[in-house]
Amino acid sequence: MLSSVVLAATVTATVALPVLVSSIIRRRRIIERISLIPHDKERVVIIGASSGIGLELARIYAHRHAHLVIVARREELLEQLVQELGTIAGSIHAVQGDITAPEDVRRITIESLGALRGGIDTLIICAGVISVLPFEELAGINCTTANRTLSSDNAEYTHLIPANPQAALEASIKIMNVNYHAPLNLTSHFLPALIQTSSAGNIIVVSSMAGKIGAPTRSIYCASKHAAQGFFDALGMEVERTGVHVGIVSPGTVDTDLRQSAVDLPKSEAYDLSSSSSAQANTSRSELKRIAGTKKGAMTAHACAEGIVRASDYRQHDAVMPWFYQMSLILNLISPPLVRWLAKKKYGYL
Ligand SMILES: NC(=O)c1ccc[n+]([C@@H]2O[C@H](COP(=O)([O-])OP(=O)(O)OC[C@H]3O[C@@H](n4cnc5c(N)ncnc54)[C@H](OP(=O)(O)O)[C@@H]3O)[C@@H](O)[C@H]2O)c1
Ligand SMILES: *[C@@H]1O[C@H](CO)[C@@H](O)[C@H](O)[C@H]1NC(C)=O
Ligand SMILES: *[C@@H]1O[C@H](CO)[C@@H](O)[C@H](O)[C@H]1NC(C)=O
Ligand SMILES: *[C@@H]1O[C@H](CO)[C@@H](O)[C@H](O)[C@H]1NC(C)=O
């Protein structure tokens, strides 16, 4: 009898209380932002808006009549979007740029602020690239185990050195530059304007479930998203007192062409997927199928974008979508082996 009372008290203290406290804190934030920034006054910069999730974000904000700046490298896609949304949005401007190019970040910032007449309320960093190869394949590591017990008679042990360690390092630097260093650089450039020109500035970063839990064939992608998660978690606490909110959104699999941006596939393989004729494209497609991990149950880019907008409106610090992926985070605390098993299953590593 007594022990069940103690149990009930413990469960209440560890589960109900934190849930209650966080819901009280969250409710205060909702009321604040919506009353301070009406949808048709919101000044939004979307980084990575030429395709996928970022493009859907632009559509949603345009339909709310926000003032928009859309940023990406592929200018013709941005111009198409300006055409599509020009009469719907409060205003919309395209700024072409590569967020990893040293000359571009400063120019993107100045041009964006110019288009928004000097002020910004919401910066959404959605640009990102992926990786799709198992690490040993990327680095050219020989995984043959057949002769494990025979001692080697090669005095220089060169056969034990990987064929391509440089490729692994280069791919890692590339992915870190887009998914971590560029968001950091954009943040430092936009932060002064967010602090000084908005009554409730938001920085929203699109991370991934890969920023929370590792998955096979995604090692360097997971590393870059984990880095972003740590950085923006800490930054959020620092800048809160300035009135700026930092939110991280972690979607599961979304149905976009993200895989074509893979930093660890040769460009030709990565980008020729749509042409069905060439032998190259056929290898690429089977290659991608092999490396992909299933897209089954993927959410649409639109649904994902809706979740991101909600996370921004409600100033959520850490949003996971679809919602049931939250379960995998809880599960990962209770039973890590089960989550590892699920991740391996998803990517064909059982
Ligand atoms: N798809 C998924 O399953 C999934 C799941 C979880 C998280 N995410 C995250 O969601 C975000 C958006 O991905 P997506 O699925 O929508 O893929 P996507 O269609 O490939 O979109 C990526 C966007 O980033 C831009 N971008 C990439 N590198 C850039 C650079 N150096 N400079 C400027 N812009 C750059 C691209 O534009 P340009 O090529 O025109 O520059 C494009 O607009 C990424 O951060 C991704 O990690 C995706
Ligand atoms: C960050 O932006 C500045 C421009 O203000 C540039 O000098 C620097 O090289 C950029 N860093 C990266 C890693 O892009
Ligand atoms: C991998 O190692 C095995 C066993 O040591 C060897 O027979 C094989 O030739 C190696 N393969 C490559 C591609 O180096
Ligand atoms: C293992 O070693 C034996 C004897 O040296 C050799 O005949 C055989 O080809 C090797 N197997 C592999 C997979 O390298």
- pLDDT confidence tier of residue 280, bands split at 50, 70 and 90: very low
- Tens of pLDDT, residues 70-103: 999 999 999 999 999 999 999 999 999 999 999 9
Share of the chain above pLDDT 90, in %: 73
Atom from ligand 2 closest to the CA of residue 177: 13
CB burial of 151-175 (b: ≥16 within 10 Å; e: otherwise) equals eeeeeeeeeeeeeeeebbeebbebb
Residue 275: what pLDDT? 40
Residue 3: what pLDDT? 81
Question: Which of residues 143 and 109 earns the better pLDDT score?
Answer: 109
CB 44 within 8 A of CB 124: yes
Residue 209: what pLDDT? 97
User: Rounded to whole angstroms, how far apart are CA atoms 32 and 36?
Assistant: 6
Q: What's the CATH code, domain 20-134+179-346?
A: 3.40.50.720
Average pLDDT of the segment spanning 25-49: 88
243 φψ region: left (φ > 0), alpha (ψ -120 to 50), beta (else): left
Separation of 325 CA from ligand 1 center, angstroms? 21
Nearest-10 Cα torsion for 248, 254, 258, 260: 160
- pLDDT confidence tier of residue 279, bands split at 50, 70 and 90: very low
Share of the chain above pLDDT 70, in %: 89
**AA letter at 154:** N
Question: Which of residues 137 and 290 earns the better pLDDT score?
Answer: 137
- Tens of pLDDT, residues 218-260: 999 999 999 999 999 999 999 999 999 999 999 999 999 999 9
Separation of 318 CA from ligand 2 center, angstroms? 27
Angle at 215 between CA 72 and CA 222, to 5 degrees: 40
- pLDDT confidence tier of residue 269, bands split at 50, 70 and 90: low
Which of 45, 51, 220, 221 for a ligand 1 pocket mutation test, highest count of atoms within 8 Å of Cβ?
51
Strand ranges, E, within 73-158 = 91-96, 122-125
Separation of 145 CA from ligand 3 center, angstroms? 9
User: Rounded to whole angstroms, how far apart are CA atoms 269 and 281?
Assistant: 7
Instruction: Spell out which residues line ligand 3, taking CB within 6 angstroms.
Output: 142, 144, 147
140 φψ region: left (φ > 0), alpha (ψ -120 to 50), beta (else): left
Checking if the pLDDT of 117 tops 70, the result is yes
Checking if the pLDDT of 112 tops 90, the result is yes
**AA letter at 34:** I
- Tens of pLDDT, residues 154-187: 667 788 889 999 999 999 999 999 999 999 999 9
Q: Is 337 in the pocket of ligand 2 (CB under 6 A)?
A: no
Nearest to 136 by CA among 216, 222, 225, 210: 216
Which of 106, 185, 188, 191 for a ligand 2 pocket mutation test, highest count of atoms within 8 Å of Cβ?
185
